[in-house]
Structure 1
């Protein structure tokens, strides 16, 4: 439990080959089902305060209360994902904390000295997310994500799907 952000709700893994990662997570580790979005549509995305046309694929599944996110960036637009890969890393890149009081928690984090690395929005204002520049060693970036709207309901659906997953239909495309 973070004294500042609360409990970790998601571990995010940046990978070079999401299909290979999905195979590993579902077949070797037995975690799933993964909900796969081939190309995430961001309303907007900025890297270090400047617009960036990031293209990425993501897959989401739960293991208990912890959500697993796999991310493959599909272009060379500036992002913290690309920074991570260019530093020679692959794997755990961030820990995500979820909030239903996004703006207040965002403002509190900035007031405490946290710096925004990249941020964006998916599916409207209640789909905001921010990655703070907290990586002093690989895997320690902090993401904060607004779950007060449709994203929160989608995450709850993913959690429920994992509860009694029997291994069938391991990758479920989201359109």
Structure 2
């Protein structure tokens, strides 16, 4: 049974994982991770939602948030800080008195099949992010009690793979300089010298 599960999990969830953390002050949190935990640099995107639509508990929410990404080994770390008071799982998490680890994220190759498998296993959609044309770009699920917490799935598109690989390579080569690198949008990061597309496989 164990070998069967081991073989199935990478197919179901993808081989890489993200630890998502919700924080009140994203600059302070990124600086802590860089200075105290020696993880960096952090790519901080001020407008984390962009032109995508956010659905929470079946309703559209005009939530705005900033995000920051770095890596430790092959594991991506994400910081999320909401910048308005719209309904969201991030606001609810902070309102409960918590801060820190909020969800585990995965990027399956077959996004829709993985979503269906989780839903069959008892995972319940909490919120979702949609591209302008309506395509689902990410889903947060509340997990069954024996798992607990929240699990996020997002499709491993060619863009997402390239974008994440660029951040991972920055982290691998990081020499301690410029620990927090702030950009207005993802496109601003992509247009910067930090985004080394030419070096990607």
Q: Is the 8 A contact 1:6 1:97 kept in 2?
A: yes
Matched positions, count: 174
Cα 1:92–1:8 shift into 2, 3 Å: farther
Q: Are 2:128 and 1:116 equivalent residues in the alignment? A: no
Partner residue of 1:12? 20
Unaligned runs of 5+ in 1: none
Inter-CA distance 51–64: structure 2 relative to 1 (3 Å threshold): same
How far apart, CA to CA, are the structure 1 residues paired with 2:92 and 2:108? Answer: 26
Q: Paired residue for 2:43, among 15, 32, 35? A: 35
> Paired residue for 1:47?
56
The ranges of structure 1 where at least 4 consecutive aligned residues each deviate by more than 3 angstroms after the TM superposition are: 1-8, 121-127
The question of 1:102 aligning with 2:111 is answered yes
Q: Distance in 2 between matches of 1:130 and 1:15?
A: 20
Q: Contact 1:99/1:148 (CA < 8 Å) preserved in 2?
A: no
- TM-score, normalized by length of structure 2? 0.78
Instruction: Tell me, in whole angstroms, the C-alpha distance in 2 between the residues paired with 1:39 and 1:122.
Output: 15
Aligned equivalents of 1:48, 1:173: Cα separation in 2: 31
- Which runs of no fewer than 5 residues in structure 2 stay unpaired? 1-5, 189-201
Question: What pairs with 1:51-130 in structure 2 (closer than 5 Å)?
Answer: 51-121=60-130, 128-130=137-139
Structure in which a larger fraction of residues adopt helix:
2
State the secondary structure of the residue aligned to 1:99: coil
CA RMSD, 1 decimal = 2.4
- TM-score under structure 1 length normalisation: 0.89
Moved more, 146-155 or 65-74: 146-155
Q: How does 1:128-143 map to 2 (within 5 A)?
A: 128-134=137-143, 140-143=149-152
Instruction: Report whether the alignment pairs 1:163 with 2:172.
Output: yes
Deviation at 1:112, TM superposition (A): 2.6
| Cα distance in structure 2, aligned partners of 1:19 and 1:62 | 17
Deviation at 1:145, TM superposition (A): 1.4
